[in-house]
Chain A
Amino acid sequence: MKDLASTQSKRIEVRSRVLLGKIALFALFVLLCTLLSLLVGRYPAPYVQSPQAIFSDPMALNLVVNYRLPRILLSLLLGATLSASGVVLQMIFRNPLVEPGFLGVSQGAAFGASLAIIFLGGSLLTTEIVAALFGILGLFLSVFLARRLRYGGWVLRLVLAGIAVSALFSAGVGVLKYLADPLKQLPEITFWLLGGLWGSDWHQVIYVVPFVLPALFILYLIRWRLNILTLDESTAFSLGVRPGKEKMLVLALSVIPVAVMVSVAGIVGWVGLIIPHISRKLVGANSQFSFPASLFLGALFCLFCDTIARTLLWGEIPLGILTSLIGAFIFLLILTRPSSRGFV
């Protein structure tokens, strides 16, 4: 019996190594695409430029180092955060159709941003901070309301509370749009709501990194344990876990960085929904592998969409439009495939 067990366990170790190899490949691909993306833009000429063309032009070099590079880093962080949060939320809610915007965070941030644009002058920093605060407020309101609902289990109560809080903030955004100056403030709000990383610089990178990287790092460390949170409460409890407390901790770790990223990038939809599905298809449902795979694939997806957003046309295409367009297309593709394993 022991011999069979050790033969089998060696087989499992080999399989784990294959999955780790796949993830390393995704990471390498992100690195290569990042380097390539540095050479893609509208200056000195549209689309791909040779490194020589950039290094020989001081203005191009300045543009790449001070604007293009921070923007690329933000797109990577945005994609990684939204997808990581998507994996975590889908697992703790035991529902593969949940995404980070679910718990009042996105609509809360949208309300905060609109408020800042109309009443607080709308400077970039003010808008970001107020949006992040309202995003986190959206999460807290959802949790607070869920604790007071007298209907269904904890997950259902959180989902219902999240829908109610999102609807309230969304109505609030409607009112603020109605009040906004149609020539100046309204376009600004609309553009913010569509999502995008225009005007990114190093200040924004410095602003998001302290929130995003530690949270993603902790989630990465506890990635295997996320599997246990997908089990029902009694079973998780019998495995030595305190499911209620651990879910709240993991929820905060996954949603707070989303609120911070949304405050910089606006509402960028679909990333947190489809990337976890694609990751599960490629490396399986075990979060030990699907979590890191989602980090890299999410980063890759946002990098790809944002590179198109800033390059394809003379003007900026809002990132949220591209992620929704491409995301919805991929979503339909997965759904209409004969065996759609990710949607159990």
Chain B
Amino acid sequence: MSALSLSEVSFSYIPGEPVIKDVSFSLESGRILALLGPNGSGKTTLLHLILGQLSPEKGKIEIFGREIRSYSRSELSKIIGLARQEERVAFEFTVLEYVLLGRAPYLGPLEAPGSEDYKMAVQALERTGTLHLQDRFLTSLSGGEKQLVIIARALAQMPGILLLDEPLAHLDLKNQSMLLEVLENLREQGVTIIFSTHDPNSTSIVADQVLLLRKGSSLQFGPPGDVLEKEKLQSTYGVPIRVLETEGERYVFPENGRRRKRVV
């Protein structure tokens, strides 16, 4: 079953200047989709459209076969979770207190979390391998740990679709590896994951499908092997690019790095 399908979706903040232009694709349940494109290509806007925070000017978004507009706010928050890397938390919540906020969709306006919610929060922390951090302050965590805890908060919503905005940005290799492992485990558990990234290499490691975006238009949708082609990436990023292929996977580098190597 398709978890998410977009048909000819357009959106603009200023009338006449679309930031998303006629984007169409369909994603099966339990797959990982990477939204790939340079800064300002409309990746985050597309995530906000899928989240329901923005409404498309034109076109249709369907979540599990139903049009997004037919869901209530509360229904949608139990289906789609969002984890942003840039999330700023102004107060010293403990990790557990923070993850419990993910239970909000299941609680009435006057309710506070109870024992069932505590269990769900603990399970979400286990799924991301961060249960040992539960009593730490969120502000005291490393970048990678914080990113995993933010994902745990979104998982406490029990979503079928998880949206991640630039999850790998600013993470070192160890933290990237931790995060990628968690994403793969979640895929095995049937969670559909959509993440935005400006780094083509992270897509070839983990994504099943890639949507290549340039100035809001979809250039190509398909498996990383098909999308990560020299010409397409050069026209998207506007710089000379070199593509290496090892063990059936493609890796992308800027061409000028190679020239510098020759000089040395």
Contact = CB atoms under 8 A, between A and B. Distances in A.
Given A224-B111, A224-B113, A234 B101 contact: no
B102 to A, nearest CB: 7
B69 interface: no
Contacts of A234: 48, 51, 53, 82, 84
Given A232-B88, A235-B84, A227 B139 contact: no
A12 B139 CA distance: 20
Q: Chain A: interface secondary structure?
A: helix
Contacts of B105: 239-240
B119 A344 contact: no
Contacts of A242: 73
Interface string A230-271: 111011011111100000000000000000000000000000
Given A234-B48, A234-B82, A238-B82, A95 B119 contact: no
B112 interface: yes
A183 interface: no
Nearest to A13: B115
A39 interface: no
B104 A225 contact: yes
B104 A228 contact: yes
Contacts of B53: 234, 237-238
Contact of B91 (A1, A9, A91, A288): A91
Interface stretch (A119-127, A279-287, A308-316): A279-287
A219 to B, nearest CB: 11
Given A13-B118, A286-B93, A239 B139 contact: no
Give the interface residue-count category, chain A: 35 or more
Contact of A280 (B48, B91, B102, B154): B91
Interface in B84-117: 84, 87-94, 96-97, 101-102, 104-105, 107, 109-113, 115
B157 A4 contact: no
A6 B119 contact: yes
B74 interface: yes
B77 interface: yes
B37 interface: no
A344 B94 CA distance: 13
B94 A284 contact: yes
Given A94-B90, A234-B48, A235-B87, A228 B115 contact: no
Nearest to B111: A224
Interface string B112-149: 11010011001100100001001001010000000000
Contacts of B137: 341
A227 B93 contact: yes
Contacts, number: 113
B87 A232 contact: yes
A5 interface: yes
Contacts of A175: none
Interface string B163-180: 100000000000000000
B80 interface: yes
A96 B90 contact: yes
B81 interface: yes
A16 to B, nearest CB: 9
Q: Which of A95, A224, A232, A280 has the most CB of B within 10 A?
A: A224
Contacts of B88: 94, 232
A342 B137 CA distance: 12
A222 interface: yes
Contacts of A223: 112
B77 A239 contact: yes
A1 B123 contact: yes
A240 to B, nearest CB: 3
17 contacts: A4-B131, A5-B118, A8-B122, A94-B88, A221-B110, A222-B110, A228-B101, A230-B89, A232-B84, A238-B51, A238-B77, A238-B154, A239-B104, A240-B73, A240-B105, A280-B91, A286-B94
Given A9-B118, A239-B105, 19 more contacts: A4-B126, A5-B119, A5-B122, A5-B123, A5-B126, A6-B119, A8-B122, A227-B93, A231-B87, A232-B87, A235-B84, A238-B154, A239-B102, A240-B74, A240-B77, A284-B94, A286-B93, A341-B92, A344-B91
Interface of A: 1-2, 4-6, 8-10, 12-13, 91, 94-96, 221-225, 227-228, 230-232, 234-235, 237-242, 280, 284-286, 288, 341-342, 344
